[in-house]
Structure 1
Amino acid sequence: MAEVSNKQVILKHYVTGFPKESDMELRTLTLKLELPPDSNALLVKNLYLSCDPYMRDRMSKPHDSYVPSFTPGSPIVGYGVAKVVDSDNPNFKKGDLVWGMTGWEEYTIITDTQALFKIEHTDVPLSYYTGLLGMAGLTAYVGFYEVCSPKKGDTVYVSAASGAVGQLVGQLAKLFGCYVVGSAGSKEKVDLLKNKFGFDEAFNYKEEQDLDAALKRFFPDGIDIYFENVGGKMLDAVLLNMKLHGRIAACGMISQYNLDKPEGLHNSFCLISKRIRIQGFLVFDYYHRYPQYLDMILPCIKKGMVTYVEDVAEGLETAPAALIGLFSGRNVGKQVVTISHQ
C-alpha cells in the first residue's frame, strides 16, 4: 500500500477580528493511497482551491451560522477541484474530475459526496469550477434570476462587483437588458468592470466621501435591483436610493465579517416606505439548478458573451495569504489557489 506525503493548511485556533496568515499553519503528514472497503468514500488529489469570503465565518468559534466552524488542528475545508485517485463509491471512478467540498491539502478522503459534482466539460479551464462554473457562478445565476426577479430595462447595482460572484452578476444583467453599475475598491478593478465585463458605469467606493451622493450620481431615478455583497454603510446608502418595489438579493456582507460588533442600519424605514423586498439566499438551496445553469452558461462562455477573471496563487503554501487578501481587497477577480496541474 503506497504512502505519500500530504501537505495541509490547518487552522491553529479560532479567530476574532481580522484574520492573519499566522492563524493558519502548513504541516506535512503521510497518507495511505487506499480506501478501506465499504467506506463509500473517495480519495482525491486536489488540483485547485477556492478562496471565498464566507470562510471567515468558519474561522470563528462555533456560533449560530449556516456553516459549521472549522476544527482547530485540522485542515481548512472549502470548495475545490480534484481528481479521483481511488473510489469506493459507485457514482465515481478513478480518474474522474470533480468539484465540491474538499480539504486544503494535497490529498483528501471525501466521505460526504452528496454535494460533489462530476466535471463533464473539460474544454474550458478546470479552475473555472472553483468560480464561474462552480459555487460562485451558480450563486450569481440564482441570485440574479430567481431572487432579484429582473425585468428588461431595470437599473441594477452590484457591490464588490469585480469579485467571484459580482463580475458574473453584472454580465448576466447586461445580457438581460439592464442598466448596470458596479463598485469596487481600486482603479484597476473599476477599469475591469467597464472595459472587460461591460458594466455601463463603475466607481471606486474608497474614493467616495458620500456613498448616498455617489449612488444618486449614477442612479438619478433610483435603483430597481441591488445585488448585495458588502453590507454596512453601503447597504444603508443603497436603501435611500432604491425605487418603489425595489429588490435586494442579500448574498454577502463582507464589510461585517471581521467586526466584533456588526454595524447597524439607520435607513431601514425605507424598507417600509418604498415597499422594498430584501431576501437572503444560500446557494446550497439551489444545487438542483446546476445542470440548468451549465446549459445556459457554457454556450455564453464559448461564444465570448461572458468572460471571467481569476487571481491565481501557485502552491498550497500561498493559500493562507490568498484567503486573508480577500478581506483587504488584494485579489483582482476570483481568488484561486493552484495545488497541482494534474
Structure 2
Amino acid sequence: MATSGGEPSAPVGPVPFADVDGEQLVPERRAQPEAGLGDDLADDMVSSLPSKMEVSLPMRLRLYRGFWLAEIHIPAAVAMQRRLVPRPDDVVVASLPKCGTTWLIALAFATMARRAHPPDAGAGAGHPLRRLNPHQCVPFLEGLFARGQQAKLDALPSPRLMNTHMPLAMLPSAGGGGGGCRVVYICREPKDMAVSMCHYTRRVMPRVSFAETFESYCDGAKIYGPFWDHILGYWRASSATPDTVLFLRYEELLRDPAGNVRKLAQFVGLPFSEAEEEAGMVGAIVALCSLDNMRGFEANRTGYVDAQRRIPRETLFRKGVAGDWVHHMTPEMARRLDDIVADKFGGTGLAFK
C-alpha cells in the first residue's frame, strides 16, 4: 500500500452506494433480470419447489437447497453463485434479519471509510451516515441480483462493502468460507430475534400475532431459515477459516462496542493506528453509530427501508437491547425455543447468553 508522510494511504472505498446509484433511493423501480438468469432453474422449476406463504410478510417462500428463500430471490441466489466475482479486499456483512444488521453495517462503513469520512462531529458534519440510511450506503446483494443489476457492483471502487441475508451456501465458493473475500456475520439470541422480527413486520401485517411468528421460527420455516442452519453455516466457517469469516454476537456488541469495532477493523485489514487510538477515533465511530444518534438523523426518521411494503426506516431503530423477549414470551414458549437451540447447537461450541 502506498504511503505518504509515513502513514498508509487510505483506500478510496467503500463509497456510499446511493451516491453512485440513484435507483437505490427508489427501490420500487425494478429492472427486468438479465437474459439467462438462472438458466438451469427455469420458472417451471422454481414453481416446482416446496412453497409456503411467509406468515408476517406478503411474500411466497420456496425451499431451495434446504433454506426458505423469497421466491424472487431464488434466481438471485443462483446468479450470486455464478456471477459474483469477489475481490480480495471485499467485505460482506451477513446475518439473518433482525440481528443487528443495520448497526453493524453502519459500524463497518464508518470504520472502513474513516479516512475519507472522519466520524467526529466537527470533521464529520457531512458524514454519509448523517444524511443517508446505512442501507443506502451499502448494496444489498440479493436485491441487486434479483433485479439483474449486479453489474453495478463492478463499478464500485475497492474495497467494496456489501450486505446479504443469504446463507453461506448461497455465496460463491462457500466451501472456502466466502469466496476469497471477508465475511462478517452477526447473530442474535433467537428469542430476541423472533420478537424483533414480529415488531418489524407488524408494520406490514398488523394482524399477525407473535404466536404465529414464533411458530414459524420453531418450525424452521421463517424467511432465510431454518435459523439454526443459517447460523451454524457461518459459525463453522469462522472456525475453519477465521481469517475469512468473523463471527460476532449482537449481545457482545452491545456490551463492548469499542472492542468489537477494533476486532472488525483488524479483521478487514484496517487496524486503528496508535495515533487514531489517541485521537479517540474508535469512540467517535461508536458514538456516530449509536442507536440514539442514528435515530435522530433525518434519513432514518423518514422514508422507507422497503418502499414496496411501506416499511418505514424508523422501524430499524427500535430498542436495541438484549433480553426483551421476557416481555413477549410465556415461560412455555421460552423453554420450547431454548430446547430447540440446545438440540440444534449442542456440541458445536456455540452458545447464546
* Common fold by TM > 0.5: no
More strand per residue: 1
Report the structure, 1 or 2, having the larger helix content: 2
TM-score of the two chains, using structure 1 as the length reference: 0.28
Structure showing greater relative contact order (alpha-carbon pairs closer than 8 Å, 6 or more residues apart): 2
TM-score computed with the length of structure 2 as normaliser: 0.27
